[in-house]
Amino acid sequence: MEQSGKILKIKHGYNPNSSSIGSIIFALPVALFGITIGFGIISSIIFSYFIKLEDKKEDKP
C-alpha cells in the first residue's frame, strides 16, 4: 500500500542546503568579520588625523 502526502518525520534544526537558512548562517560571520575590518580601518584613519593635529600644535611656539 502506498502512503502519499503523509508526513512521516520532522527534524528540528537548520538545513545547510536550504536556500534561506543556509545563506543566513554563512552571511552572519562574514558580515561580522567585514564590520570588524571596516571599524579598524576607519578608526585608524581618525586616530592618525588627530595625531597629526597634535603634532602641528606642538610645533608652534
The 10s digit of each residue's pLDDT in 31-43 is 999 999 999 999 9
Q: How many CB atoms lie within 10 A of CB 45?
A: 9
For 34, 43, 52, the CA distances from 57, given in Å and listed in that order, are 35, 21, 9
| CB-CB contact of 22 with 28 (8 Å) | no
Asked if 22 contacts 14 with a C-beta cutoff of 8 angstroms, the reply is yes
User: What pLDDT does 1 receive?
Assistant: 54
Length of the chain: 61
pTM of the model: 0.53
